[in-house]
Amino acid sequence: MVTRSEMACRCGCGFDCLDYQLKFILEDLDSKFSIKINSGCRCEMHNKIVGGVANSYHVKGKAVDISDNMAIPDHLYAYLDYKYKGSLELILYDTFVHVGIQDREERHDYRKGK
């Protein structure tokens, strides 16, 4: 089960907002994979420091970057793409997958570097 502390901003400010839909998806993933939260919530300042985009879903508690020591990111991506087809912002990176809860009118699907 994903905890609020795992989702908290890494700068130590205490920001730990978590969208209920994202929580449901993370619990689903956690039951099938050994997921690790690389980046969850970010305050505005930390988002700028790490090079996050303006209006990042991380700042809204609606995005997470995840990896799994036992599975390659492609497997996480494929699972999410299949199960939640068209309902998530998915970006496949070399070492992790970005998962975002989007507003319906903003849905996109990305494959970074693919």
Structural domains in the chain plus CATH codes: 4-110 (3.30.1380)
List, for residues 85-99, the tens digit of each pLDDT value.
Answer: 888 999 999 999 999
DSSP 20-71: HHHHHHHHHHHHHS-EEEEE----HHHHHHTTPPTT-TTTTT-EEEEEETTB
Question: Which amino acid belongs to residue 4?
Answer: R
pLDDT of residue 70: 87
pLDDT of residue 69: 84
For 65, phi and psi rounded to 5 degrees?
A: -105, 125
Pairing of strands 97-101, 88-92: antiparallel
List, for residues 41-95, the tens digit of each pLDDT value.
Answer: 999 999 999 999 988 999 999 999 999 988 899 999 999 999 998 889 999 999 9
pLDDT of residue 114: 41
pLDDT of residue 3: 84
